[in-house]
Amino acid sequence: MQTVIFDLDGTLADTSGDLIAAANACFRAMGQGDVLDPVGDAATAFHGGRAMLTLGLERIAQEDVLGEVENWYPQLLRAYEEQIDRYTTIYPGAMDAVGRLSDSGYKIGICTNKPENLAEILLTRLGIRSAFASLIGADTLPVRKPDPMPLREAALRAGGDPAKSLIVGDTATDRKTAEALGVPCILVTFGPSGRGVAQLEPEGMIDHFDALPAEVARLIGTPSD
Residues annotated as part of the active site: 7
Residue 108 CA, chain-centre distance (Å), reads 15
**Partners of residue 206 on adjacent β-strands:** 188
Q: Residue 205 and residue 208: Cα distance in Å, rounded? A: 9
Q: What is the DSSP string of 166-212?
A: EEEESSHHHHHHHHHHT--EEEESSSTTGGGGGGG--SEEESSGGGH
Instruction: Write the burial class of residue 216 (CB in 10 Å: 0-12 exposed, 13-18 middle, 19+ buried).
Output: buried
- The continuous run of DSSP H or E covering 155 comes out as helix 149-157
DSSP 9: B
The set of residues, in sequence order, having a beta carbon less than 8 Å from that of 77 and lying 6+ positions away, is 22, 49, 115, 118
